[in-house]
Chains A and B, each alone.
Chain A
C-alpha cells in the first residue's frame, strides 16, 4: 500500500510540487494576505495626503501661502479665495471648547479615577462612553432646537448686557454663534478628554499616592501636588487629542455656528469653520479653482490634525515609558 502511494508522487514535476506544497501548507498565501492588509492600511493614510495635495494644486499655484492669510472668499465675482476667516473660526471655537471642557473633564477624570466608590465607577464610565457614541448630527439637532434657545441665547444676552463694551461680547445676539458652536464642541469632547485623563491617572503607581498621604497631605493635595505633576504630559496629550477632535468636528458645528463670513471679534456673532465650509460648499463648487480651494482647506485641516495627533501621542507615550503601563488612546 505504502509503495503504490509514493510512486505517483515522485512523478510530479518540481514546479507542480512547489505549487502543491504552498497550497497544502497555506502559509505563503496567508502571509501575502496579512501583508496586503498592512499595505492597504498604510496606503490609506498616504493616499489621503497625496490626493488632497494633488487636488488642491490649482489653488496652491494661484494663491500660494497668501491663501492662509487673506480673507476673500468670493466664488461668484472675483474668484479670489482666502481661508483666514475659516482658520480663525475653527481655532476660536476649538479654544472655547477646550476652556470649558478641560477643567470639567479633568474634574470628572479625578472623580472617576480617585474618589468614586467602586460600584459607581463602571456605570459612570459607561455613561461617559455612551456620550461619545451619540452621533454628531444628533448633537447638532439638539444644539439647534434645545441647547441654543434654552441655554446659549439667554446666556449670550446676559454676557452682552454685562460685558457688551468688550469687542468679544458685542451684539446683536442671534442665537447661532461661535459661542454656541464652542460650547456644543465642549460637550462633544468631554468623553475624549475624560476617558484618556482617567486612564493616565490610573496608570500612576500607587506608591506615589501612598507617599503623599504618608507625609500628611490631604487627598486634594495629593492630587494637585503629586498626581497632576506626575501625569502632566499624559493629561496634556489628552487635551490635545480633544483639541484635534474639536477642530475636525463638522456637522454639529455647521448646524449651530450660523455659517457667516463676517470677520468680527465678537463670540456672539455667527461664524464659520473650515469643516463647515467644506460641508456647505463642496457640492456647489462649479469650477476647478473653487473645488481646489475647498480641497486646500481640507488639506490645511488634515495637516493641523495630523501634527496635533502625533504630538499628543508622543506625550502620552512618554508618560507610559515612565509608568511602565501602556495607555492606549
Chain B
C-alpha cells in the first residue's frame, strides 16, 4: 500500500466521522426547539394557572383575575361537534378505501384524502365561511365545528384505512362464508379487531383540531361570555391564546402563556396516550 492511498484512506475516514457526527448534531438541533418551547410554556404558564383561571370568565383589561372557562367550553363544543361529524364519515370512507382499494371509487377516496390533508386550514376556514357563515349572516360554534370536521376527516380516513388493511382477509372471508351479511361482518368482525387503531386515529385528529386557531378567526369568532348555543359565536383555546398574545398588555401575555399550558397539556396527553396505545397494540399483535 503506497503513501497516497493511506492518506486518501485517512481522509475518507475523517470525512465519514465528521459528517456522521454532523447528522447527530442535526438531530439534536431539530429536537431542541421542542424542549425549549415546552420548558418555556411550563415556566411562564405555571404561575398564572389555578382553579380560578379554569373556572372564571375573562375580565376586561386592568381588572385582575379572570379565566378561560368560556374558551374551554367553546373548544369542547367545536371539537366535539367536529369529531361527531368526521368520525362516522371518516370511518366509513376509510372502510371503503381499505376493502375496495383498486376500484375507481377506492382510488378516488384515497386521492381525495391526500389532497384534503394538504389544504391549508385557513382555506378550509374560507370554505366554511362561505358555506355556513355567509348564508346564515352570523358567526357560530356550528361553523367552527364544521371546519374542524374538515380538518379531522383525512386523518380519520387514513388511520382507519391502514388499520382495516392490517386485519387479515381470512377473518373477513370466514365471516362471509358463514353467511353473515357484509355489514354484520364489518361491524362485528372487522371493526372490533381494528377498533383500537381507529380510536387512536380519532384521538390524533382531535388533538390536531383542538390546536387550530386560524380558521376560528372567522367561524367560531370568539365570545367573552359563556355560551352553550351552537348558533352563537364561541371562544376557543387557540383563538384565545392568539388574541391575548398580540395584545399590548403584559397581564394578557401572562394569560396567553397559561392558556397555552392548558392547551399543550391537553394535546400532548392525547398524542402520547394515542401513540403508546397503538405501539402497545402493535407489539401485542407481533408477539
For the complex, give the distance between the alpha carbons of A241 and B126 in Å. 22
Interface presence of B118 (CB below 8 A): yes
Assess A140 versus B27: contact at CB under 8 Å? Given A30-B183, A134-B37.
Answer: no
Contacts of B210 in A (CB 8 A): 135
Interface presence of A82 (CB below 8 A): no
Contacts of B134 in A (CB 8 A): 55
Assess A107 versus B23: contact at CB under 8 Å? Given A47-B127, A130-B271, A138-B37.
Answer: yes
Interface presence of A105 (CB below 8 A): yes
Interface presence of B113 (CB below 8 A): yes
Interface residues of A (CB under 8 A from B): 25-27, 29-31, 33-38, 40-42, 44-45, 47-48, 51-52, 54-55, 103-108, 110-112, 115-116, 124, 126-131, 133-142, 144-146, 187, 190, 194, 218-221, 241, 244, 247-251, 254-255, 275, 278-279, 282-283, 295, 298, 301-302, 305-306, 308-310, 313, 328-329
Interface presence of B142 (CB below 8 A): no
Closest-CB distance, A174 to chain B (whole angstroms): 15
Assess A309 versus B89: contact at CB under 8 Å? Given A219-B16, A255-B245.
Answer: no
A-B pairs under 8 A by CB, number? 258
For the complex, give the distance between the alpha carbons of A35 and B34 in Å. 42
For the complex, give the distance between the alpha carbons of A144 and B75 in Å. 24
Closest-CB distance, B11 to chain A (whole angstroms): 10
Check B120–A137 contact: CB distance below 8 A.
Answer: no
- Can you add 4 more A-B contacts, CB < 8 Å, to A141-B256, A218-B12, A302-B123? A105-B26, A105-B30, A107-B23, A107-B26
For the complex, give the distance between the alpha carbons of A306 and B111 in Å. 12
- 19 A-B pairs, CB-CB below 8 angstroms? A31-B182, A41-B112, A42-B112, A44-B116, A107-B23, A124-B27, A128-B31, A131-B34, A135-B212, A135-B264, A137-B263, A140-B242, A141-B41, A141-B245, A190-B30, A218-B15, A250-B120, A302-B120, A308-B118
For the complex, give the distance between the alpha carbons of A40 and B81 in Å. 17
Closest-CB distance, A289 to chain B (whole angstroms): 15
Check A45–B245 contact: CB distance below 8 A.
Answer: no
Contacts of A251 in B (CB 8 A): 213-214, 238, 242
For the complex, give the distance between the alpha carbons of A115 and B27 in Å. 11
Residue of A nearest to B238 (CB): A137
Residue of B nearest to A48 (CB): B127
For the complex, give the distance between the alpha carbons of A1 and B256 in Å. 75
Check B114–A313 contact: CB distance below 8 A.
Answer: yes
Interface presence of B105 (CB below 8 A): yes
Interface presence of B177 (CB below 8 A): no
Residue of A nearest to B208 (CB): A133
The listed residue (A27, A255, A328) touching B242 by CB distance below 8 A is A255
Assess A220 versus B20: contact at CB under 8 Å? Given A41-B93, A302-B123.
Answer: yes
Contacts of B37 in A (CB 8 A): 134, 138-139, 142
Interface residues of B (CB under 8 A from A): 12-13, 15-16, 19-20, 22-27, 29-31, 33-34, 36-37, 40-41, 44, 88-90, 92-93, 95-96, 105, 108-109, 112-116, 118-127, 129-131, 134, 150, 153, 157-158, 162, 181-184, 186, 207-208, 210-214, 217-218, 221, 238-239, 241-242, 245-246, 253, 256-257, 260, 263-264, 267-268, 271-272, 275
Closest-CB distance, A202 to chain B (whole angstroms): 15
Check A130–B26 contact: CB distance below 8 A.
Answer: no
Contacts of B256 in A (CB 8 A): 141
The listed residue (A26, A108, A221) touching B27 by CB distance below 8 A is A108
Closest-CB distance, B187 to chain A (whole angstroms): 9
Contacts of B113 in A (CB 8 A): 41
For the complex, give the distance between the alpha carbons of A238 and B38 in Å. 26
Residue of A nearest to B99 (CB): A34
Contacts of A298 in B (CB 8 A): 122-123, 126
Check A133–B118 contact: CB distance below 8 A.
Answer: no
Assess A135 versus B22: contact at CB under 8 Å? Given A47-B127, A251-B242.
Answer: no
Q: Which of B118, B217, B221 has the most CB of A within 10 A?
A: B118
